[in-house]
Structure 1
Amino acid sequence: MGLPKFLILFLFAATVAWRQQQFPGLPSLSEGSSLTVEKESDLLVSPNGTFSSGFYKVGTDAYCYAIWFTNSTNKTVAWMANRDEPVSVRGSKLTLHKDGNLVLTDGVGSTVWSTSTFSNAGVEARLLETGNLVLINQSKGVIWQSFDFPTDTVLQSQRIVKKTMLVSMRSQGTYLSGYYNLKFDDTNVLYLIYNGPIISSVYWPSTDATVFYSKRTPYNSSRIAILNEAGQFRSNDNLNFNASDYGVVPKRRLTIDYDGILRLYSLDESTGLWEISWLSRSVKACQVDGLCGEYGAQVVFNSNDPEAERNRNWYMKYLIGFVGSFAVIEALCVGLTWWYLFGKHAHEELSNIAGYMALAMDFKRFTYAELTRATGNFKQKIGKGGFRTPQNILLADHLEPRVADFGMAKLFKDIHGIRDSYLAPEWMMNLKIDVKADVYSYGVVLLELLSGRSASSFLSTGGQYNEYNRLVHWVTEMIREEGLEKVIDPRLHHEFNTKLKRLMKVAMSCVQEDRKARPAMSKVVELLLENDE
């Protein structure tokens, strides 16, 4: 005997009322309906209330449409629609149009974000218990889902595929897209990548060795990875791991955090707090590109491991030896250049050197009386100095070169005369940087010595010179149009001879735009000493 119809309706109404009391919000959004920023109760809630979806405050009068864990402290976000273009409170809304398109508009009605979907079969929006926001037609087919467009987080049962890319937050509490990515590359390997405004590079797994060293494999081209309900992560490239609290009970999320570290979190629903249940032990904080400064890096050794201690000692010896050797070679090359130009006539040309250095280094020698008058008996500040290159190459007795403030330029973000004047083109084009970049800088210094012109003086020139180095461009054009003699500084008081030709040949070979065409510094020394009697 069936239940009376009124009793069925009563039980259904009671169930709906109980659910709304337990999980405030809507189970779905039908065509023509909207969620607004002004009404905090305008939410979509998953069947068991694990996830909520609505407008999430990201700043002063700034909101993003998001999905978050309902029972977590501070409503931890799992997905955002418009993370890089927040909307204001007044007039902004999310609407499911009758053509099946879910659209987010701002206060003036402009479209900020949409699913770009179309269906005439009747569509509704639902938030599933997995945290997946879906558009479903009348035949229960999914025509769009948020799982296909993740932000910085992957949820349980959500797949990472060929086109998937996780993008970190910009910083803690700032939901704008950051600089760290997780994605499959063309070699079928899941990589962590730093994609900054200046450089871009892979930092996990390490590129110092093959992917096989990290127990990965590039041979499976399916490019699929998934975090299952039990806390197992499985990827086609052999990146496999389990949560430390393996099991189906905790809710979990895999997030690439703002610091570039990939972490698996498990939710303690009794406290609403997250606990780390996995992270890559092979990634240390300062090994993540950009985290310890643009070019910062950290090498970490275990002091309790004798082998690690031996490695540390070897590494430090190698590092000190390398830096010291490079400084010696650089000083030697500069010294040889000056010896070529002035070595045999130094006693006759000391008076000319002052004028030459003033031209090349923008320095002028002032007497004490002049300084007293200019500063009002040293009471008025008339300016301040700064770090520039190669003005830190100083001359001691007998014209011996000395390099001052070695390496201090690294402490400054932007130094007049460095970025455009002395850096190799690969610095400006985000290409790989190696020792050939230093060869280029040496070549610019050599051109300054030969031409008597300061590279930094070309920065204010508004002409047609090459954006990477105007001095190099000027020398090249002058040689092509008027000959090499017009480039050499007349203050040298040398006849145009084979030595100057050789020096110019070395300088021009050092400033080749293609770094592969530049000689090694050992070859530069060999060329400078060639046929020297």
Structure 2
Amino acid sequence: MGFSISLFFLLLPLSFQSSSSLSSLNKGSSLSVEKQAQHFILSPNQMFCAGFFQVGENAFSFGIWFNDPHSHNPINVVWMANRDQPVNGKLSKLSLLNSGNIVLVDAGQITTWSSKTESHAPVKLHLQDDGNLVLDEPQGTILWQSFDFPTDTLLPDQPLTRFTQLVSSRSFTNHSSGFYKLLFDDNNVLSLIYDGPDVSSTYWPPPWLLSWQAGRFNYNSSRVAVFNSLGSFLSSDNYAFSTYDHGTVMPRRLTLDSDGNVRMYSRNEALKKCFDPERGRRCSCLPGYRVKNRSDWSYGCEPLFDITCNGNESTFLEIQGVELYGYDHNFIQNSTYMNCLNLCLQDCNCKGFQYRYDEGQGFSCYTKLQLRNGRHSPGFSGTISLRLPKGNNFSKEESVRAEDHVCLVQLQKGYVTKPENCYVRFFLWFATAVGVLELICLSMVWGFLTRTRQKSSADQQGYHVAAVGVRKYSYSELKKATKGFSEEIGRGGGGVVYKGILSDERHAAIKRLNEAKQGEGEFLAEVSIIGTLNHMNLIEMWGYCAEGKHRLLVYEYMENGSLAKNLSSNSLDWSKRYNIALGTARVLAYLHEECLEWILHCDIKPQNILLDANYQPKVADFGLSKLVNRNNLNNSSRFSMIRGTRGYMAPEWVYNLPITSKVDVYSYGIVLLEMVTGKSPTIGVQSIDGEESYNGRLVTWVKEKRSGTYSSWLEQIIDPAIETNYNKFKMDLLVRVALACVEESKDLRPTMSQVVEMLQSHESNPKS
């Protein structure tokens, strides 16, 4: 559908405005979901669109968004009519009835939303330049307007009143109602509230402060907050702020984001660049806890164990710099640490305690009935001690992460058909045949235009798909940051990596790709997808450069280098190796199964697994041109060339078999064997049997040792650098998982999510 729009712009610029977009909707007119790319209302200044957009599988919503002339994809939605009740992709319409009522009908049968208006005058529905969708009469009387019913966003001069509130979305890609609200409370104070499935509480302004202590004025009756296009915000309770770019008139929006933060965004009109959301909070579960719903971390965490009332069966894990506010059962001043610990042990409902120094009060003890409202802050002087069962192996490094980036939660909408008579069926068939002929003709014209107008494409005009939160650098900036590309820290088939210091003093790893073989638009499209990925075990991309033949990627810098470097320097004990194995499995499962795009790494090896200051793994160099849309997957998927590194490559590459995610599973298994044995698959195992071999021989050697009669087979293969007091159960588990991953037949190998389950399911094993 996007191609059709572009084609109309090129061939029929005048008729596009009249036959595709509308300036208003009159009585008896409708917008069809099946023609959402053509049926929409455009504001006179062409800044805003109102129409249908897809929110899931066969699920559509009607809303308003900032218009991007080069994409019909509504990235910046500012209002929705039916955010919690999407409609079908067939027969659904938004209609302005002759009665003066606006109705949204699902599949031609059920009304899911209505303006509840009535007028005998010739009313019209139109979209104003300020983004307000208005239903009014000829004399100007407004019957209904979207500004009176905000969802999660305010636009300039749109007031937030005592009758309205902002409700966040569930996630960046799931627009249904979330758990955070911005509203005026009963004390006339503008407040942020978490209203979750289990608890509800105010978190801004700080609830322990009186309104005047928070700088608020609650003796007012207006209850109104508003901001302008200059970037100034003012509330009737005396709360005000200005943006850093205050004073410049530009399109702006204030949104209560899915992470509970209110942010104001500005739009660069010179570039027609959409708003770039800031990175939100980074959420994780405490050690011993896991995310309840992996597709939506807002449901919180649940324990992996049962708490016992017997104090002799409990232990405590102390964590520095973590604060849990509220839900205190006991508060004792001038308490010793042991008194606080014993107080928690005596209470069956105590889940842990907070112990901190309060100035003027000494050390204070807070025993916790619930572990909520947590935050990690290096400046927090106290500690939280978690109550865990004895014999557990939970540690501060093994906390379960709720990913920063929540992949698309697909909403599904079933379609209920209605009986059709033979005449209707005939006319539908006839219309379809005509439409197919039209599409064939349009495709031929489009192909011709694509070939003849390449030089005037988006690359040349400067219109690019911008990756969320990713900055574009100039080549001169990165050359200066790397001191002329002088300090090389890594090298691979795709290019060379240099250490650099950016203008904001951040240390970065800057990868200079080999000479570009793809256009700038294609490169930026792939960078855009990679830029939206976000996982605690995935290297973070900060920016890119696409200038002439130069293609560079800017990543965060990892202090401890690669896994390969640490294995050769014998700096990893068994616990670190196990954590690296688990973290790497998690991020591969994320890339393979949890994202909208199907991403293969194709080169899993120790050199591409980097370690941060805490030895947490971050997979790097998952490269470009390895992104496949899930809808295009088939059993004959082929890559144009062999990818990977000798010693880690799956048999599929050699025998020209279909390439699937199982090639990464195979490489991961080889990496596990290398971490256990300390032996690179490319240099053989000469120290054991004097024979040089490659990965097949290493696998065979491990299998032979494991199936032998010796009870000490693990001691015979384990890396001598690992101390003798390692956890035999976990190291044996790594070997078993590795051997399952390196099966010759891809169908016998587990998926990466199954690998994660195998490694995690044994975390609470009494032997571990």
TM-score, normalised by the number of residues in structure 2? 0.37
**Contact (CA 8 Å) 2:180, 2:194: kept in 1 or not?**
yes
Indicate whether 1:325 and 2:318 are aligned: no
Aligned with 2:22: secondary structure?
A: coil
Structure 1 residues 106, 292: CA separation in 2 closer, same or farther (over 3 Å shift)?
closer
**Contact (CA 8 Å) 1:286, 1:292: kept in 2 or not?**
no
**Contact (CA 8 Å) 2:93, 2:108: kept in 1 or not?**
no
**Contact (CA 8 Å) 2:43, 2:128: kept in 1 or not?**
yes
**For residue 47 of structure 1, what is the aligned residue in structure 2?**
44
Counterpart-to-counterpart distance in 1, 2:224 and 2:344:
50
**For residue 239 of structure 1, what is the aligned residue in structure 2?**
239
Indicate whether 1:59 and 2:56 are aligned: yes
Match of 1:405 among 389, 410, 429: 389
Counterpart-to-counterpart distance in 2, 1:232 and 1:37:
37
Letter in 1 for 2:81: A
**For residue 272 of structure 1, what is the aligned residue in structure 2?**
273
Report the CA distance between 1:25 and its aligned residue: 0.8
Aligned with 1:49: secondary structure?
A: coil
**For residue 393 of structure 1, what is the aligned residue in structure 2?**
none
Counterpart-to-counterpart distance in 1, 2:242 and 2:153:
17
Aligned pairs (5 A) from 1:192-231: 192-231=192-231
Letter in 1 for 2:59: A
Counterpart-to-counterpart distance in 2, 1:407 and 1:260:
37
Q: Which has the higher helix share?
A: 1
Counterpart-to-counterpart distance in 2, 1:273 and 1:196:
31
Report the CA distance between 1:183 and its aligned residue: 0.3
Counterpart-to-counterpart distance in 2, 1:133 and 1:60:
27
Aligned with 1:328: secondary structure?
A: helix
Structure 1 residues 141, 407: CA separation in 2 closer, same or farther (over 3 Å shift)?
farther
Counterpart-to-counterpart distance in 2, 1:119 and 1:227:
32
Counterpart-to-counterpart distance in 2, 1:98 and 1:246:
45
**For residue 354 of structure 2, what is the aligned residue in structure 1?**
none
**For residue 146 of structure 2, what is the aligned residue in structure 1?**
146
Structure 1 residues 320, 293: CA separation in 2 closer, same or farther (over 3 Å shift)?
farther
Counterpart-to-counterpart distance in 1, 2:320 and 2:215:
22
Letter in 2 for 1:212: W
Aligned with 1:249: secondary structure?
A: coil
**For residue 388 of structure 1, what is the aligned residue in structure 2?**
none
Counterpart-to-counterpart distance in 2, 1:162 and 1:215:
20
Report the CA distance between 1:327 and its aligned residue: 3.2
Counterpart-to-counterpart distance in 2, 1:179 and 1:143:
30
**Contact (CA 8 Å) 2:68, 2:274: kept in 1 or not?**
no
**Contact (CA 8 Å) 1:259, 1:285: kept in 2 or not?**
no
Letter in 1 for 2:50: S
Counterpart-to-counterpart distance in 2, 1:286 and 1:223:
33
Aligned with 1:274: secondary structure?
A: coil
Letter in 2 for 1:267: R
Structure 1 residues 331, 198: CA separation in 2 closer, same or farther (over 3 Å shift)?
closer
Counterpart-to-counterpart distance in 2, 1:232 and 1:103:
36
Report the CA distance between 1:20 and its aligned residue: 5.2
Structure 1 residues 201, 32: CA separation in 2 closer, same or farther (over 3 Å shift)?
same
Counterpart-to-counterpart distance in 2, 1:165 and 1:94:
25
Aligned with 1:217: secondary structure?
A: coil
Report the CA distance between 1:105 and its aligned residue: 0.1
Aligned with 1:207: secondary structure?
A: coil
**Contact (CA 8 Å) 1:24, 1:45: kept in 2 or not?**
no
How many percent identity over aligned positions? 41
**Contact (CA 8 Å) 2:152, 2:256: kept in 1 or not?**
yes
Counterpart-to-counterpart distance in 2, 1:267 and 1:328:
56
**For residue 36 of structure 1, what is the aligned residue in structure 2?**
32
Counterpart-to-counterpart distance in 1, 2:391 and 2:137:
64
Q: What whole-Å deviation, never above 9, does each CA across 1:213-246 have from its counterpart, x for those lacking one?
A: 3211111221011111211111001110112111
Report the CA distance between 1:138 and its aligned residue: 2.1
Aligned with 2:113: secondary structure?
A: strand
Aligned pairs (5 A) from 1:370-409: 405=389
Counterpart-to-counterpart distance in 2, 1:43 and 1:167:
25
TM-score, normalised by the number of residues in structure 1? 0.52
**Contact (CA 8 Å) 2:259, 2:281: kept in 1 or not?**
no
Indicate whether 1:103 and 2:99 are aligned: no
Structure 1 residues 23, 166: CA separation in 2 closer, same or farther (over 3 Å shift)?
farther
Aligned with 1:238: secondary structure?
A: coil
**Contact (CA 8 Å) 1:256, 1:263: kept in 2 or not?**
yes
Aligned with 1:327: secondary structure?
A: helix
Report the CA distance between 1:139 and its aligned residue: 1.4
Q: Following TM superposition, where does structure 1 have runs of at least 4 consecutive aligned residues deviating by more than 3 angstroms?
A: 16-24, 283-287, 290-296, 298-301, 318-324, 329-334, 410-413
Q: What whole-Å deviation, never above 9, does each CA across 1:249-298 have from its counterpart, x for those lacking one?
A: 32100000000000000012305232579x9xxx97679xx8694699x9
Letter in 2 for 1:41: Q
Letter in 2 for 1:152: D
Aligned with 1:212: secondary structure?
A: coil
**For residue 66 of structure 2, what is the aligned residue in structure 1?**
69
**Contact (CA 8 Å) 1:268, 1:275: kept in 2 or not?**
no
Q: What whole-Å deviation, never above 9, does each CA across 1:54-91 have from its counterpart, x for those lacking one?
A: 00110111100010000287421000000001011110
Structure 1 residues 404, 41: CA separation in 2 closer, same or farther (over 3 Å shift)?
closer
Q: What whole-Å deviation, never above 9, does each CA across 1:2-43 have from its counterpart, x for those lacking one?
A: xxxxxxxxxxxxxx9859559951000000000001112111
Counterpart-to-counterpart distance in 2, 1:23 and 1:263:
37
Counterpart-to-counterpart distance in 2, 1:36 and 1:285:
40
Q: Which has the larger radius of gyration?
A: 1
Structure 1 residues 286, 60: CA separation in 2 closer, same or farther (over 3 Å shift)?
closer
**For residue 82 of structure 2, what is the aligned residue in structure 1?**
82
Aligned with 2:150: secondary structure?
A: coil
Letter in 2 for 1:174: N
Letter in 1 for 2:105: T
Structure 1 residues 284, 268: CA separation in 2 closer, same or farther (over 3 Å shift)?
same
Aligned pairs (5 A) from 1:440-451: none
**Contact (CA 8 Å) 1:216, 1:237: kept in 2 or not?**
yes
Letter in 1 for 2:274: L
Letter in 2 for 1:254: L
Counterpart-to-counterpart distance in 2, 1:159 and 1:185:
16
Counterpart-to-counterpart distance in 2, 1:263 and 1:178:
16
Report the CA distance between 1:404 and its aligned residue: 7.3
Letter in 2 for 1:51: F
**Contact (CA 8 Å) 1:264, 1:276: kept in 2 or not?**
no
**For residue 160 of structure 2, what is the aligned residue in structure 1?**
160
Aligned with 2:213: secondary structure?
A: helix
Across the aligned residues of Structure 1 and Structure 2, the Cα RMSD in angstroms comes to 3.8
Structure 1 residues 320, 199: CA separation in 2 closer, same or farther (over 3 Å shift)?
farther
Report the CA distance between 1:123 and its aligned residue: 1.0
Counterpart-to-counterpart distance in 1, 2:213 and 2:391:
34
Q: What whole-Å deviation, never above 9, does each CA across 1:76-128 have from its counterpart, x for those lacking one?
A: 10000000010111100000001110000011421010101111122110101
Aligned with 1:147: secondary structure?
A: helix
Letter in 2 for 1:90: K
**Contact (CA 8 Å) 1:266, 1:276: kept in 2 or not?**
no
Aligned with 1:168: secondary structure?
A: strand
**For residue 740 of structure 2, what is the aligned residue in structure 1?**
none
**For residue 27 of structure 1, what is the aligned residue in structure 2?**
23
Letter in 2 for 1:219: Y
**For residue 684 of structure 2, what is the aligned residue in structure 1?**
none
Aligned with 1:111: secondary structure?
A: strand
Structure 1 residues 30, 300: CA separation in 2 closer, same or farther (over 3 Å shift)?
farther
Counterpart-to-counterpart distance in 1, 2:102 and 2:347:
66
